[in-house]
Structure 1
Amino acid sequence: MRRSCFVLAAVPAVLAQAVSEAPPPDLAAAPAGSARTASGMASRVLRPGQGTRPAEDSLALVHFSGWSLDGKRVLHSDRNEAPPHLFLTHLMPGMREALLDMQEGELRRLWLPEALAFNGARGRPAGALTLDLELIEVQPHPSKAPADVAGAPGDAQLLKSGLAYKVLRPGTGKEHPTRAHRVNVHYSGWTTDGKLFDSSLMRRESAGFKVSDVIPGWIEGLQQMVVGERRRFWVPEKLAYRGERGKPAGMLVFDVELLSMYK
């Protein structure tokens, strides 16, 4: 039995106005003054954003609620969990079109005709869809190696062990995992020539394991993180696979996001 569990239950204060569970009063039709696109989508900005815009192949961290025209909520993310990590290339057309025009921190309401929603896909909600969509963060496609993949930059933190890291996003948690904790993470790993050799994001499934069961560099690095945090690690070979047959050799670079921890 899990004796304690910590999950990503909050996002920065700027995102406090959040996606609603209840159907909006303008569910049935976009009000006058709503923006309209040639594809047939209507939208309203409920909260402007100030951050990065996604590219066609970006990974987007989003929260969302969607309703059919009878007011039934037919799809949604769980705001008590880490936001879903979604590739734009895998989304319904209307969601993808909207995200390409949004900025991090933005919240929009979308009115999607069926052709821009599930378009008659078997087992999916039929008809038009009204969707509240919140863009929390944009990340590059894992196949695109970081610019600093060849070596830790001058502003990275270097530990006595030789492990180097940079905090890419601060976390919301207050406790750090120990070797005895189990954790769930998203991660991508590259060799120093920029080759992606592993990524939970590409599998579209987070990875779960006991902290003590991974390579030494991860054991050390994870114990310094908190839930919600994302870090880049430069792991020297002595803290990585140490010449193990069939494993990537040399220094390895990992982006790691700590989604949850428990005992």
Structure 2
Amino acid sequence: MEFYHAVTFLCVWGGYIGSESRILQDVSVDRYSLPTFCPREVEIGDYVRYHYTGTFTDGRKFDSTYDKGVPFVGQVGFEGKVIPGLDKGVQGMCVNERRKITIPPHLAYGVTGAGTVIPPDSTLVFDILLLDVWNKDDEVETRMLERPRMCRRAVQASDFVRYHYNGSLLNGTHFHSSHRDRSTYDTYVGQGDLIRGLDQGLLGMCIGEKRSITIPPFLAYGDKGHGSKVPAFATVVYEVLMVDVFNVKDDIKVEVQEIPQPCKRKTQVGDYVRYHYNATFQDGTHFDSSYQRNGTYNTYVGMGYVITGMDKALQGVCVGERRRVTVPPHMAYGENGTGDLIPGSAVLVFDLLIIDFHNPKDLVDIKVTHKPLGCSVTSAANDLILYHYNCSLLDGTRLYSSDDSTQPSQTTLGQGKVITGLDKGLQGMCVGERREVIVPPHLGHGESGGSGVPGSAVLRFELELLDLHKGIPEGYLFVWLEDSPQPLFPAMDLNHDQEVPLQEFIAFIKLQVAEGKGRLHPGMDSNIIIRDMFAKQDHNADGRITADELKLQTDEGEVPARDEL
């Protein structure tokens, strides 16, 4: 920072000092008010804009730009628009400096004066406030105030930018601010939509960069000024914060940050995907997050349910993949934005984590991880099985496990006891076999989810079949595995006394099971099942089944207690 003496005299006193006056040989300059910082001093050839009040030495005013409401504008040392003493007296001035310049007659209006306003041989005093200084050789001056550590993109001609600014004159007078308007200034660069100086000064700026741009009048608003705030021939200073930049030719930008290995499948058009995201503008300002809502965002891929850029960015991703996606506004919310959340022409940045995806046409995916030797009997519909399982989401989030219970899980297959996908995944297994089964949501808990299971979630099951009891169709207690004896009653009447009491009936049924000719419902007490079967055959409840009772049921068209007798 430069410092200046409070008072500098550019004068030479000569002649004699009489009793009534002193004869001034050169201009006298009193710099009675100096700015703290003076980056530039007036030189010959510069143009200046200043206010002044002109008085005689006795204090009588003869002229003032304040009264006219318009400051003086002229070139120093060339045009001859001002008296020589004033031309000389402003040299070395700083913007916002105040100085009092005393000018002897020979450097003012001399022996002739100026009409009726300035008498001959008048010494004049000008009190001047310098407002502006520039030169026709000046260029746009940029000064970086703040710059991000990483500059992902710099402004180029034809880019569209959104920026905040504070606009002031060279003397610090504020004339406008986008911050006060609570809205960025949005425009194309280098296409004539801005004053020429801004078109130049914005080039090369990074998102998040702050810079000061000083623009001479002929690259700003020239001799017309701008409204009531920017006068003619004014140097303007913009303090700019670059918020956003894109080009209408931009496509989405994808930065893959993490891909799990192996990646067996990637999303395609028509898939349904669940993902988490954090959303910001290019300057890092946060505007949305799925994490804050404690739920994924779920949508179809490539079918127009989300903004175009996101629709494109979600194609070709893996489960567990992380990627950063930059979406230009013409592939997002366009010139109008959306509500108070996203301003018009905003570039959006999404940090994505793909949780899972599936296709509505997906089937259960089964991978056998261990199969014992000599596997001859496999699970099927209606079988009663014992099994161990772990269930998780595709990202590894544990949901539930048979380890949470003291007993292995048990179910009857094919009877809707478990979700469809798990039922399918448990069929065709040998005892001791282990599998990894992927269940899409339409074969799992669907769009609504279940207890602890998010909606539309793809599930991963780790399964091990522990035990297997071959079953019978739902609603039956006993079935024949081969043709039943014909005629049936004599076969049941083991002692041939023309009646079958309970104990004889129990012995007959157990014999069929032991010889592999019939099968009882698994998972139930065999004695209870057989007693129930007997009760349904004993029509008169006398404790005996006769041939007529067995024939009566058959004649009535009933399937005897659905027991296949």
Q: TM-score range by the shorter chain?
A: 0.3 to 0.5
Larger-Rg structure: 2
Larger relative contact order (C-alpha < 8 A, sep ≥ 6)? 1
Query: What is the TM-score normalised by the length of structure 1?
Result: 0.45
Query: What is the TM-score normalised by the length of structure 2?
Result: 0.24
